[in-house]
Amino acid sequence: MTIRAVKTAVSIGRNGVGGSFILQCQKMDFHYCDWFGSSKGMNGFIKSLLPKFAAAHPQIEITVSPRPNKHPVIIGHYINGKQKAICTRNMEPLQILKKVELLRDASGEKNRRITKPVQSINPSVRGVWSPYHGEGITV
Amino acid sequence: MSRALLRSVLELRTPITRLPPSFLLPIRTAGARCLHQTSQIVDPVQQQLEAGIPLQPQAQKPSSSSPIAEAASNISSSSQPTTQPAKLHPSVRQLLPILAAQPGRYITIHIHGKPYLVTEGDSVRLPFKMPGVTPGDVLRLNRATNLGSRDYTLQGSPYVDERLFECRAVVIGTEAEPMRTLVKKKRRCRRKKTVHSKHRFTILRISELKVCDVNGLD
């Protein structure tokens, strides 16, 4: 049993609160192949669009590496330690740009269905209603 | 191709370079943007509790406004004709400072007509993908129906005067749901059609919720 901090004393990070925002996507790997025809759009993307995307996002580390005899792939690495990989075979450069934006906007969490729109960890502002407090009800 | 490229690059650029610094942007549009404000109803909930609960002098002051420049924020409907803002009810003048002094605060903001009851720090998953925003953009939410603390609620009719509060949200990103699969099948017919759909949602984080001072308002 290791020693742990008291649970109530641990603060929970909430991205964006207090004026600081951190993009969740840390790193993107671009893999291409010089020989495969499915990598044609990817090679064009790396030549034409990737430098501008990289310049616009200094907070994302970008690596480009060959992966011979395989389809082109983009892999996004996130702050929570997870990865997302998208195969971009036979895609045009602008289609690949959309996939890159998808990876940039993602949080790294698994896709899950959420029915309630608001998620909060704050305690309830007005508290729980009690019949024994307040002015009471005359029957 | 080149135009689409230029537009995408302009869009991809970080908001710091895209907009002037936040101190150059208007915090509040000087009373010109108060839309269909009539009068407020303040219902002091449990007035007598006021004596029991000590009011803290200046509680939970939200931190300074974010360094990120603000995007234009009137999401609900910006095409309304501008009218003269209504005069504040005396009860608002009297009770809003008490509301502001209480520690917790909630607000019911409306985005595209849908209400979301939020407090500071909550995340909101909008039921649509907001076009034209990138992660890190700050939105000013100015349409609200309720603004409340533990004992007091300011209820708008139908909306709270937007000069009375400042609510900002940061665009965190876009999330998706798992792929939905629906099999279309008719009876006594072997044909099956499978329909797939996958929706994308914009995630907001309420970064700031501040009750404004009523002294400078008429």
Cis, peptide link before residue B85, omega less than 30° from 0: no
Give backbone dihedrals phi and psi of A108, rounded to 5 degrees, phi first. Answer: 90, -10
Q: Are strands B70-71 and B138-141 parallel, antiparallel or unpaired?
A: parallel
C-alpha–C-alpha distance, residues B174 and B110, integer Å: 20
* pLDDT, position B33: 39
* pLDDT, position B207: 95
Beta carbons of A45 and A97 less than 8 angstroms apart: yes
Does residue B61 lie within any of the structural domains? yes
Q: Which residues pair with B193 in a beta bridge?
A: B184
* pLDDT, position A118: 97
Beta carbons of B150 and B185 less than 8 angstroms apart: no
Does residue B53 lie within any of the structural domains? yes
Domain A23-105: CATH superfamily, name plus number: Glutaredoxin (3.40.30.10)
* pLDDT, position B91: 92
ipTM of the complex: 0.86
Does residue B138 lie within any of the structural domains? yes
State the residue range of the domain holding B7: 2-211
Q: What is the DSSP letter of B111?
A: E
Does residue B216 lie within any of the structural domains? no
| Residue spans of chain B under pLDDT 50 | 1, 14-19, 26-39, 45-81
C-alpha–C-alpha distance, residues B36 and B82, integer Å: 8
C-alpha–C-alpha distance, residues A55 and B170, integer Å: 23
Interface test with B, best of A15, A94, A103 (most B CBs within 10 A): A15
CB count within 10 Å of CB A99 equals: 16
Average pLDDT (A70-86) is 96
* pLDDT, position B116: 97
Average pLDDT (A60-73) is 97
Does residue B89 lie within any of the structural domains? yes
Query: Which runs of E-coded beta strand occur in B103-143?
Result: 106-111, 114-118, 123-125, 138-141
CB pairs under 8 A between A and B: 126
* pLDDT, position A131: 81
Does residue B14 lie within any of the structural domains? yes
Beta carbons of B186 and B198 less than 8 angstroms apart: no
Comparing CB atoms, the residue among B4, B120, B122 nearest residue A118 is B122
Write down the domain spans for chain A. 23-105
Comparing CB atoms, the residue among B1, B121, B148 nearest residue A125 is B148
Residue B127 belongs to what H/E stretch? none
Residues of chain B with C-beta less than 8 angstroms from the C-beta of A14: 121, 123, 205
Q: How many domains does chain B have?
A: 1
Higher pLDDT, A78 or B45: A78
Does residue B118 lie within any of the structural domains? yes
* pLDDT, position B10: 52
pLDDT digits (tens, 9 = 90+) for B152-168: 999 998 999 999 999 99
Look over chain B and give the mean of its residue pLDDT values, rounded to a whole number.
75
* pLDDT, position B172: 95
- Shortest distance, CA B69 to any CA of chain A (angstroms): 11
Q: Is the dihedral of CA A93, A95, A98, A104 positive or negative?
A: negative
Residues 6+ apart with CB under 8 A from B21: B67, B69
Cβ of A57 within 8 Å of Cβ of B12? The answer is: yes
> Is the model's pLDDT at A17 over the cut of 60?
yes
C-alpha–C-alpha distance, residues A75 and B179, integer Å: 20
* pLDDT, position A25: 96
Beta carbons of A31 and A67 less than 8 angstroms apart: yes
Comparing CB atoms, the residue among B9, B120, B150 nearest residue A52 is B9
Cβ of B104 within 8 Å of Cβ of A122? The answer is: yes
